[in-house]
Amino acid sequence: MVQIAVIGGREVSRETLEKAETVGRLIAERDAVLICGGMGGVMEAACRGARSAGGMTVGILPTASRLDANRFVDIVIPTNLGVARNAVIIQAADAAIAVGGGYGTLSEMAFALQKGIPLVSIDSWPVDDTVPRIPDPAEAVAWVCNQIGSPKKNIFP
């Protein structure tokens, strides 16, 4: 099964949260698993969107307690690693979609580039020319899925 990370900040605008929720829903509609940091903000919005479409969500937490996960996480993985868990999130992903975010998101984007997985930015950091900046969630999810090109699951509409 394809696993797509949604990365982004905890404190973001309403517009960014709406985009994250749409991204989560679209990932679930393509039968991919949503991987995230499991906390609030973009992570919670993306999980809410995935859950609304019957998708599976995995939260890789920076804390030691499963109780810290947002209520839309299906599988909770507490790491007690703090921000070092960002590397774990990307390691678990076949692709990543950055939606807004701060320095933590930037670190996750760097890990994705180092790993060589498809990465797209929705209103996030302009890291380099290899990372497309696509403001529309549907276009961003379609771009990532086309880059994965995996026959593992029904990833194409």
Q: Could you tell me if residue 154 is inside a domain?
A: no
Write out the H or E segment, with its range, that includes residue 147: helix 137-148
- The Cα 126–Cα 146 span in angstroms is 21
Q: Could you tell me if residue 100 is inside a domain?
A: yes
Q: Number of structural domains, the chain? A: 1
- Cα angle 26, 94, 114 (rounded to 5 degrees) comes to 125
Residue 119 confidence (pLDDT) = 98
Q: pTM value? A: 0.94
Residue 149 confidence (pLDDT) = 76
- The Cα 137–Cα 114 span in angstroms is 24
Residue 11 confidence (pLDDT) = 92
C-beta separation of 88 from 81 below 8 A? yes
Q: Could you tell me if residue 156 is inside a domain?
A: no
Q: Could you tell me if residue 155 is inside a domain?
A: no
Provide the domain limits for residue 32.
3-148
Residue 105 confidence (pLDDT) = 97
CATH code, domain with 12: 3.40.50.450
Q: Could you tell me if residue 157 is inside a domain?
A: no
Distances, alpha carbon 27 to alpha carbons 61, 84, 108, 111, 128, in Å: 20, 25, 19, 21, 24
C-beta separation of 45 from 122 below 8 A? no
pLDDT averaged per 10 residues, the chain (length 157): 96 96 98 97 98 98 98 98 97 97 96 97 93 97 89 42
